[in-house]
Structure 1
Amino acid sequence: MQITASTVSLTVDDVAASSSFFTTHLGYEERMAADGFSSLSRPDAAADIVLLRRGMEVLPADQRDQRASGLILAFTLESGIADEEDRLRTAGVDITLPLREEPWGERLFQITDPNGVVVQFVEWASPTA
């Protein structure tokens, strides 16, 4: 098996709101769109994102009424995590978990899109003593 791309499919109430959030603040571009559907992509290694409106009949019956919840969409950055947090805060994005460093060397912060999708940015640092 050879995987050529990765896509995360998220079921949300307001596709346009999430699509706008990801394109405005996170550098995604909308590749395809239709009523209740948006496909987003970036030119780097980030996973593509498909947004589907909750309740759509194309979804399996047991998934139609579920929302994207209980997951964290995490992006690893090479460097500059503090600058990225500052950029997003300046742009008016609510930082729902401020930048912090875990004992195992992970620096991270989180934002949340209008539909409650949690996006985490991670940068690996040296573990603290």
Structure 2
Amino acid sequence: MQFTASTVSLTVDDVTASQEFFTTHLGYTLQQAADGFASMTRPDAFDIVLLTLGIEVLPPEQRDQHASGVILAFTLASGLEEQEKRLRDAGVEITMPLRQEPWGERLFQVTDPNGVIVQFVEWAAPDTA
């Protein structure tokens, strides 16, 4: 088995709002769009598909389920502070300010207009205390 891409599919209320968030603030490129659907790509990350709540292409038991409990996490090689500042300066609400966990994860989170949590991570040496 050989994969050609990895894609996360999210069901949201307003596809256009999330699509604009990901293309404007996170550098995604729109591949395809139709009523209630958007497919976006970025060469260094997983693809994202957005589907509108209730869309009939989903099985009936999934049509009314929001993307909840999902965190889209992007690991950065460096520049975490700069990205937080860039997003804040662009008017994106930082919903979890920059912090460091005892196991060495440095992170902050933003939330897109549909409530999708996006987390940015850098790895540091864990606390030894």
Shared fold (TM-score greater than 0.5)? yes
Do residues 15 (structure 1) and 15 (structure 2) align?
yes
Residue-by-residue CA offset, 1:4-29 (whole Å, 9 max, x unaligned): 21000000000000000000000001
Specify the code of the residue in structure 2 equivalent to 1:23: T
Q: CA RMSD in A?
A: 0.6
TM-score by length of 2: 0.97
- Count matched residues: 128
**Residues 72-111 of structure 1 mapped to structure 2, 5 A cutoff:** 72-111=71-110
Aligned mates of 2:8, 2:43 — CA distance in 1 = 16
Specify the code of the residue in structure 2 equivalent to 1:16: T
Aligned mates of 2:125, 2:4 — CA distance in 1 = 32
Q: What are the ranges of 5 or more consecutive residues in structure 1 without an aligned counterpart? A: none
Do residues 126 (structure 1) and 125 (structure 2) align?
yes
TM-score by length of 1: 0.97
Q: What are the ranges of 5 or more consecutive residues in structure 2 without an aligned counterpart? A: none
Same amino acid, percent of matched pairs: 73
Aligned mates of 1:67, 1:32 — CA distance in 2 = 21
Instruction: Name segments (4+ residues, structure 1) moved above 4 Å.
Output: none
